[in-house]
């Protein structure tokens, strides 16, 4: 592509982007299409000759866009929000234009040093201990894997990296409400899924520390070695908050690594009034939060903080001749802080976001989102035929429709599953489901920048109305 052609096309796309951001609400949140509908419109083989950009853009509009779920739609209330914002998108434009690999200091000194500074800013913004060092990972799933591998190597005196597993006696603990990435990571780390012990939760879906203590004690007596506890601040099902402080004390007793998964809810720690969630965090070994969820930063940007930086680097360091540089002892070479060698310039978008909003504005927005959750919680409690199924510490509300006289669990599940499908088929709103105490629950969470209380109110009216009209 000639530079001139690029310039023209880029201007055209920026206009499209601004229009999209202004009018996201015009689209159905989720397309109503069948599997294969998009693929069938794409030629079976690659073009031999290059094609014109206008043709590409035309096909983007006619084939791709109708098949997209619009995560930035203000009535996207499903899963957890995924961040995007003007400043973040602009930074991504620059980062992709620079096209740099940020694996070691020498390959992009500014990227490395900005990442160091951004992780310090973020650590302090979230009230994390100054003894923590941060690094950006691609996702929480990776960050938790990095924590497990570091715990494994530290505990085995780096022997498993050398010799592989001989006879694994390590055990990992997490609550029954933990994210599925913990299961996946335990498998990838070679620890064996049968050595992941799911600890019981209380009526608020938070891990019961006494149950953890019992499980660990039983394991130790049977010759197992407690390796790591993964606690969650804000579970995916219901944003339950594990008692970090009490769990940390148990971990100290067993010299066990304590990793905190605060992927979504960690952002709320910008609010001093929410710091109760992280009480005791200074005794933890590692912590992950995803600015790409609730901090208006585009995927991917997962901030991983670790207390023992040396153990992290000892676990991952490699130093082939072709990567040696004279500055190795003076700088961070982030290729040694995680799994991939190549790394995107992700600190740039965080810098743009934090500077554009400022801490005060970020706090205002997060605080407002939490009031959305509290508003909806009150509505659900007050509604005659609805039932709240979990506490609402933040902005996620889990509820179900419970028509008069219906008590059978299976019937309630069918009714609520139908309600959810009808809501989502409308294209006006998107919600997802979970199971809480074996009860089918609808999850409703508003956390994108464009979402206002009015959108939440409209969404709730639609839920009530649709439930009434269910046949």
Write out the residues near ligand PLP by the rule CB under 6 A.
Answer: 80, 139-141, 179, 181, 232, 235-236, 261, 263-264, 290, 302
Residues 162, 167, 169, 171, CA torsion sign? positive
- Cα–Cα distance between 82 and 461 in angstroms, integer? 24
CB of 143: closest distance to ligand PLP in angstroms?
8
Indicate the residue among 256 and 301 with the shorter CB distance to ligand PLP.
301
CB of 290: closest distance to ligand PLP in angstroms?
5
Residue 439: closest CA among 405, 391, 390, 396: 390
Convert 144-161 to b/e letters by CB count within 10 Å (16 or more is b). Answer: bbbbbbbbbbbbbeeebe
Indicate the residue among 163 and 180 with the shorter CB distance to ligand PLP.
180
Query: Is residue 323 within 8 Å of residue 120, measured between CB atoms?
Result: no
Indicate the residue among 115 and 242 with the shorter CB distance to ligand PLP.
242
Indicate the residue among 433 and 466 with the shorter CB distance to ligand PLP.
433
Tell me the backbone φ, ψ of residue 215, rounded to 5 degrees: -65, -40
- Cα–Cα distance between 315 and 170 in angstroms, integer? 17
CB of 263: closest distance to ligand PLP in angstroms?
3
CB of 103: closest distance to ligand PLP in angstroms?
20
Convert 172-191 to b/e letters by CB count within 10 Å (16 or more is b). Answer: bbbbebbbebbeebbeebeb
Reported as half-sphere exposure (CB side, CA atoms, 13 A), residue 179 has a value of: 27
Indicate the residue among 191 and 412 with the shorter CB distance to ligand PLP.
191
CB of 175: closest distance to ligand PLP in angstroms?
11
The three-point CA angle 282-284-287 to 5° equals 100
Q: What is the DSSP letter of 257?
A: E
CB of 265: closest distance to ligand PLP in angstroms?
8
- Cβ atoms within 10 Å of 408's Cβ, excluding its own: 9
- Please report, in angstroms and rounded to a whole number, the separation of the first and last CA atoms in the chain: 56
Indicate the residue among 145 and 160 with the shorter CB distance to ligand PLP.
145
Strand bridging mode 133-137 / 302-306: antiparallel
CB of 60: closest distance to ligand PLP in angstroms?
25
- Cα–Cα distance between 267 and 380 in angstroms, integer? 25
Indicate the residue among 108 and 302 with the shorter CB distance to ligand PLP.
302
- Cα–Cα distance between 235 and 205 in angstroms, integer? 9
- The maximal CA–CA distance of the chain, rounded, in angstroms, is 75
Q: Give the contacts of 403 (CB within 8 A, at least 6 positions apart).
A: 385, 415, 467
CB of 431: closest distance to ligand PLP in angstroms?
16
Indicate the residue among 242 and 336 with the shorter CB distance to ligand PLP.
242
- Cα–Cα distance between 121 and 127 in angstroms, integer? 10
CB of 433: closest distance to ligand PLP in angstroms?
16
Indicate the residue among 261 and 336 with the shorter CB distance to ligand PLP.
261
Indicate the residue among 260 and 313 with the shorter CB distance to ligand PLP.
260
CB of 209: closest distance to ligand PLP in angstroms?
19
CB of 355: closest distance to ligand PLP in angstroms?
24
The three-point CA angle 347-304-364 to 5° equals 70
- Cα–Cα distance between 295 and 198 in angstroms, integer? 30
Indicate the residue among 150 and 235 with the shorter CB distance to ligand PLP.
235
């Amino acid at each position: 592509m000639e530079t001139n052609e690029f310039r023209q096309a880029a201007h055209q796309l920026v206009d499209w982007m601004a229009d999209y951001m202004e009018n996201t609400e015009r689209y159905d949140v989720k397309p109503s299409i069948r599997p294969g509908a998009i693929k069938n419109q794409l030629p079976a083989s690659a073009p031999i000759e290059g094609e014109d950009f206008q043709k590409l853009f035309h096909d983007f509009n006619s084939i791709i866009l109708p098949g997209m779920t619009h995560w930035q739609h203000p009535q996207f209330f499903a899963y957890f929000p995924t961040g995007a914002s003007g400043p973040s998108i602009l930074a991504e434009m620059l980062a992709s234009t620079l096209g740099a690999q940020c694996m070691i200091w020498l390959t992009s000194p500014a990227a490395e040093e900005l990442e160091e500074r951004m992780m310090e800013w973020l650590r302090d913004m979230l009230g994390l201990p100054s003894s923590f060092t941060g690094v950006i990972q691609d996702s929480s799933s990776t960050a938790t894997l990095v924590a497990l591998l570091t715990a494994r190597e530290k505990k085995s005196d780096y022997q498993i990296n050398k010799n592989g597993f001989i006879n694994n006696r390590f055990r990992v603990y997490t609550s029954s409400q933990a994210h599925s990435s913990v299961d996946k990571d335990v498998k990838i780390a070679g620890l064996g899924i049968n050595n992941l012990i799911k600890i019981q939760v209380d009526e608020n879906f938070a891990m019961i520390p006494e149950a953890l203590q019992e499980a660990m004690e039983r394991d130790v007596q049977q010759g197992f070695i407690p390796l790591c506890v993964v606690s969650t601040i804000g579970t995916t099902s219901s944003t339950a908050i594990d008692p970090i402080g009490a769990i940390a004390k148990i971990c100290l007793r067993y010299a066990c690594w304590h990793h905190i998964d605060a992927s979504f809810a960690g952002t709320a720690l910008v609010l001093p009034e929410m710091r109760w969630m992280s009480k005791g965090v200074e005794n933890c070994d590692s912590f992950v939060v995803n600015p790409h969820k609730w901090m208006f930063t585009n995927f991917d940007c997962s901030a991983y903080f670790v207390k023992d930086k040396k153990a992290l680097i000892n676990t991952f360091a490699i130093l082939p001749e072709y990567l040696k540089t004279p500055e190795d002892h003076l700088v961070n070479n982030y290729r040694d802080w995680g799994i991939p060698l190549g790394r995107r310039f992700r600190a740039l978008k965080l810098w743009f976001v934090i500077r554009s909003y400022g801490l005060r504005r970020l706090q205002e927005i997060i605080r407002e989102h939490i009031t959305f959750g509290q508003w909806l919680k009150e509505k659900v409690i007050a509604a005659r035929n609805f039932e709240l199924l979990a506490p609402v510490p933040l902005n996620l509300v889990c509820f179900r429709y419970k028509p008069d006289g219906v008590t059978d669990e299976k019937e309630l599940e069918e009714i609520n599953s139908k309600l959810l499908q009808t809501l989502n088929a409308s294209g006006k709103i998107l919600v997802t489901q979970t199971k809480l105490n074996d009860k089918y629950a609808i999850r409703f969470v508003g956390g994108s920048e464009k979402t206002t209380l009015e959108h939440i109110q409209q969404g709730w009216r639609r839920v009530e109305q649709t439930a009434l009209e269910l046949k």
